[in-house]
Amino acid sequence: MIAFVARRLLATIPVLVMVALFVFLMLRLTPGDPAAIIAGDNATPIQIEEIRERLGLNDPLPTQLAIWAGKLLQGDLGESFFFKKKVTELILQRVEPTLALAASTMIVTLLVAVPLGVIAAYRQGGWIDRAVMGFSVAGFSIPVFVLGYLLIYVFAVELKWFPVQGYKSISAGLWPFLHRLILPSLTLSVIYIALIARITRASVIDVLGEDYIRTARAKGLTNRAVLVKHALRNAAVPIVTIIGIGIALLIGGVVVTESVYNIPGLGRLTVDAVLGRDYPTIQAVILVFSFVYVLINLLIDLSYTLLDPRIRY
């Protein structure tokens, strides 16, 4: 097991190197000049040139890459072109809202999606099943920002149950923290619930046809025991896999949700950095996202050993 984890962690290094190289080149080869953006709309060509020189953007690409890679190896993600702040500091400022949003979304999703999927499988073909599948299709189809605006209009502007926007740290109190997180989490979890409910339903239906389920029923176990102890546990591997895949979906959704609800998280930082062509920040955020994605997939793989004793690394 330890050897497996070590191997997998080592394997993340080439992945991250490739991501870093790709992002570095993609940013420099696409149109857009950070110096022109920094200088402002009224700046003269000479002022822009001075800033380019100052930021090292006139250096040859290999030189720029070598400087960045050198700093990266020392754990320095660089300094934002705009804010005169370390990118690490910017990321740390933004981690909490994104983690809170992702965690609350995940909790809402798991609490809703897995039971829905199991019930739909158990009542396969019935009205509950059709309703769950209908919701699932709708959940996939409705864009996150449309749902966001809809929920804001109904629950924040009209009913005034929740604030329209913003984020309060948990240090400001549990209720202010939760109050601002409910609508964004609901918005973001809908697509995720749709995905996981479908997979749960399919997996449980597969398992319910197995011989050992018939045996369990023959032993006189209750329906709940059959579903939870036998069916769900054996259907867990594909469900957990899809949760891992869904992390990518979650990262994409966070970018939109954070903009609609004005949550100052990593998603907003990414959008701002891309619009401003803030190369050091974009590179760092994408590296962090990539690392998190790789790490979550590793954790998912490790969780298989707990869910299925036959799996050994």
Footprint of other proteins (CB under 8 A) = 31-33, 36-48, 50-51, 53-54, 80, 82-85, 90, 93-94, 149, 152-153, 156-157, 160, 163-166, 170-176, 178, 224, 259-262, 264, 268-269, 271-272, 275-277
Question: Residue 54 or residue 130: which is nearer to other proteins going by CB?
Answer: 54
Q: What is the DSSP string of 148-191?
A: HHHHIIIIIIIS-SS-SS----GGG-HHHHHHHHHHHHHHHHHH
**CB-wise, 197 or 269, nearer to other proteins?**
269
Least gap, CB of 181 to other proteins (angstroms)? 13
How many Å apart are CA 45 and CA 33, to the nearest integer? 12
Residue 252 beta carbon to other proteins: minimum distance, rounded to whole angstroms:
17
When the beta carbons of 134 and 143 are compared against other proteins, the nearer one is 143
Please report how close the Cβ of residue 312 comes to other proteins at its closest, in angstroms: 32
The smaller minimum CB distance to other proteins, of residues 38 and 195, is found at: 38
Instruction: Indicate the burial class of 167 (C-beta count within 10 angstroms; 0-12, 13-18, 19 or more).
Output: buried
Q: Which tokens is 227 given?
A: 């579903």
- Nearer to other proteins by Cβ, of 195 and 251: the residue is 251
Q: What is the DSSP letter of 300?
A: H
Residue closer to other proteins (CB basis): 149 or 304: 149
Check the CA dihedral 35-90-269-150 and report its sign. Answer: negative
**How far is Cα 100 from Cα 97, in angstroms, rounded to an integer?**
5
Distance in angstroms (rounded) separating the CA atoms of residues 293 and 250: 11
The least CB distance from residue 30 to other proteins, in Å, is 8
Q: How far is the CB of 144 from other proteins (least distance, A)?
A: 13
Contacting residues for 287 by C-beta, under 8 A, at least 6 apart: 16, 19, 20, 23, 77
| Residue 61 Cβ vs other proteins, minimum distance, rounded to whole Å | 17
Is the CB of residue 139 less than 8 Å from the CB of residue 191? yes
